[in-house]
Amino acid sequence: MKSAASRAPDLREDSIVYVIDDDASMRSALSGLLRSAGFEVFAFERIGEFTAFPKTDAPSCLLLDVRLRGESGLTYQREACRQPFHIPIILLTAHGDIEMSVQAMKEGAADFLTKPVKDQRLIDAVVAAHTTDASLKVLQRRRAAIQALYDLLTRREREVIHHVVDGMLNKQIAAAMQLSEITVKIHRSAAMRKLLAASVADLVRKMETLRASSNARG
CATH classification code of 16-142: 3.40.50.2300
Tens-of-pLDDT digits for all 218 residues of the chain? 544 444 444 544 578 999 999 999 999 999 999 999 999 999 999 999 999 999 888 899 999 998 888 888 878 888 887 776 689 999 998 876 777 787 888 888 899 998 888 999 999 999 999 999 998 888 888 999 999 999 999 999 999 999 999 999 999 999 999 999 999 999 999 999 999 999 999 999 999 988 876 543 34
How many other CB atoms sit within 10 Å of the CB of residue 97? Answer: 10
C-beta contacts of 143-152 below 8 A and 24+ residues apart: 143/209, 143/210, 143/213, 143/215, 146/195, 146/206, 146/209, 146/210, 147/210, 147/213, 147/215, 147/216, 149/194, 149/195, 149/196, 150/195, 150/210, 150/216, 150/217, 151/217, 152/194
- According to the model, what pLDDT value does residue 9 have? 44
Q: Do 16-142 and 151-213 share a fold?
A: no
Taking the domains of the chain in order of start, what are their residue ranges? Answer: 16-142, 151-213
β-pairing, 71-72 vs 67-68, is antiparallel
- From the candidate CATH numbers 1.10.1200.10, 1.10.10.10, 3.30.428.10, 3.80.10.10, the one assigned to the domain spanning 151-213: 1.10.10.10
> Model confidence over 160-200: pLDDT tens digits?
999 999 999 999 999 999 999 999 999 999 999 999 999 99
